[in-house]
């Protein structure tokens, strides 16, 4: 796909969406059938991606080309002896998250981490780590809302799919309150567990005006989620994969050469990228691959940013 075609396509979608958004509730969610496709994401869950019926995303023209690292599932989970715990005063951040965070900081590479809030802020050390690393406080990272507990039916799964509006609003509110109470920070970006959502998710997130960005959200022009309502957030699309499966980072050669993916969207066309990864699952190979991919993208002239910074400072959106 040529770059012009991509932007033409996105522009047409945006025009359609703006038209629809201008109408009063034009969308009846019952008209849209959601297909569930196993895909790659997060944790032990199967990602639920749904087919978009109402594309709405656009990335306005801007100088430069940017990469957003969407690194999921940051929370406290082991104690200082390495024993698995999910809560308590001894809970610490997973060592692999600390490893990737240290490398990103040392190399001046901005990134974003998806927080699971019910399993976070068990002690002051964690709150201090978040505060000290937050881009708002001069750090390198944006922390975004990945969910309150990442659970559904007692499984580590799709918290925002089929759980109902009241439940979803409550979980977003609890997550936001927990972040702010412990750090003074405010979430500006959302991406649910498994990138799975429904019409209630759209309504729920719309109730939180401080959330400006939804990564891989509904109306993603890559057609990976169903749009059953119109979001008020800026949607960052999913164009290119960093991982072949949750926790398995492609080699640099694979990253570059996969037909229809990076080479189509970026290498020759300069599209912005939002790359999803799961550092808590990365082995030595995945870390090495990640470092090489980041170095390669820098050599290609990409700048690393965060979702909200991209929205606010690159695109100058409100
Ligand atoms: Zn997740």
Query: Is 90 exceeded by the pLDDT of residue 52?
Result: no
Query: Is 90 exceeded by the pLDDT of residue 174?
Result: yes
Could you tell me how many residues make up the chain?
318
pLDDT confidence of 93, banded at 50, 70, 90? Answer: confident
CB 188 within 8 A of CB 142: yes
**How many angstroms does the Cα of residue 75 sit away from the middle of ligand 1?**
10
pLDDT of residue 310: 95
pLDDT confidence of 84, banded at 50, 70, 90? Answer: low
**How many angstroms does the Cα of residue 128 sit away from the middle of ligand 1?**
23
Render 230-277 in DSSP notation, one character per residue. --SSEEEP----SEEETTEEPPHHHHHH-TTTHIIIIITT---EEEEE
Average pLDDT over residues 106-126: 94
pLDDT of residue 264: 59
Query: Is 50 exceeded by the pLDDT of residue 137?
Result: yes
pLDDT of residue 154: 72
Query: Is 90 exceeded by the pLDDT of residue 138?
Result: yes
**What is the average pLDDT value for the chain, to the nearest integer?**
78
pLDDT confidence of 81, banded at 50, 70, 90? Answer: low
CB 76 within 8 A of CB 119: yes
3-class DSSP assignment, residue 15: helix
**How many angstroms does the Cα of residue 204 sit away from the middle of ligand 1?**
19
263: tokens are 């080479």
**How many angstroms does the Cα of residue 97 sit away from the middle of ligand 1?**
14
Choices 3.30.365.10, 2.40.240.20, 3.40.50.2000, 3.20.20.370: CATH for 3-314: 3.20.20.370
pLDDT of residue 45: 40
- Which helix (H) or strand (E) covers residue 7, if one does? helix 3-22
Q: 39-50, pLDDT tens digit by residue?
A: 333 344 444 443
Q: In terms of C-beta density within 10 A (0-12 exposed, 13-18 middle, 19 or more buried), how is residue 44 classed?
A: exposed
Least confident of 41-50, 61-70, 269-278: 41-50
- Which helix (H) or strand (E) covers residue 36, if one does? none
pLDDT confidence of 278, banded at 50, 70, 90? Answer: very high
**How many angstroms does the Cα of residue 43 sit away from the middle of ligand 1?**
5
pLDDT of residue 291: 98
Which of the residue ranges 46-50, 161-165, 181-185 has the most confident prediction, judged by mean pLDDT?
A: 181-185
**CA distances in angstroms from 122 to 94, 102, 171, 173, 278, listed in the order given:** 14, 21, 18, 18, 22
**How many angstroms does the Cα of residue 212 sit away from the middle of ligand 1?**
20
Query: Is 70 exceeded by the pLDDT of residue 7?
Result: no
pLDDT of residue 299: 94
Neighbours of ion ligand 1 (CB under 5 A): 42-43, 72-73, 193
Q: 258-267, pLDDT tens digit by residue?
A: 765 665 555 5
Tell me the whole-structure pTM to 2 decimals.
0.80
Query: Is 50 exceeded by the pLDDT of residue 178?
Result: yes
Residue ranges per structural domain of the chain: 3-314
Q: 203-239, pLDDT tens digit by residue?
A: 999 999 999 999 988 755 543 444 445 678 888 888 8
CB 52 within 8 A of CB 224: yes
- Which helix (H) or strand (E) covers residue 163, if one does? none
């Amino acid at each position: 796909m040529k770059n012009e075609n991509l932007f033409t396509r996105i522009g047409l979608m945006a025009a359609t969406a703006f038209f629809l958004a201008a109408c009063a509730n034009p969308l009846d969610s019952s008209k849209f059938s959601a297909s569930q496709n196993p895909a790659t994401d997060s944790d032990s869950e199967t990602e639920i991606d749904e087919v978009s019926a109402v594309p709405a995303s656009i990335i306005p023209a801007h100088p430069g080309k940017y990469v957003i690292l969407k690194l999921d599932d940051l929370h406290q989970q082991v104690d200082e002896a390495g024993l698995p715990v999910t809560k308590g005063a001894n809970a610490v951040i997973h060592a692999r998250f600390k490893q990737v965070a240290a490398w990103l900081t040392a190399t001046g590479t901005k990134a974003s981490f998806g927080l699971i809030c019910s399993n976070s802020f068990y002690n002051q050390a964690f709150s201090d780590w978040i505060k000290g690393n937050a881009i708002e406080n001069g750090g390198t990272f944006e922390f975004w809302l990945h969910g309150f507990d990442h659970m559904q039916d007692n499984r580590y799964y799709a918290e925002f799919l089929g759980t109902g509006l009241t439940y979803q609003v409550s979980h977003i509110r609890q997550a936001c309150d927990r972040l702010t109470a412990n750090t003074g920070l405010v979430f500006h970006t959302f991406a649910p567990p498994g990138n799975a959502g429904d019409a209630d998710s759209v309504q729920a997130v719309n109730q939180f005006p401080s959330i400006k960005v939804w990564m891989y959200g509904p109306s993603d022009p890559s057609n990976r989620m169903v749009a059953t309502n119109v979001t008020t957030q800026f949607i960052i699309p999913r164009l290119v994969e960093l991982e072949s499966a949750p926790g398995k980072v492609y080699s640099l050669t694979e990253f570059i050469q996969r037909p229809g993916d990076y080479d189509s969207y970026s290498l020759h066309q300069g599209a912005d990228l939002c790359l999803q990864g799961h550092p808590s699952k990365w082995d030595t190979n995945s870390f090495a691959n990640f470092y090489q991919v980041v170095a390669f993208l820098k050599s290609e002239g990409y700048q690393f940013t965060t979702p909200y910074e991209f929205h606010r400072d690159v695109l100058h959106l409100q």
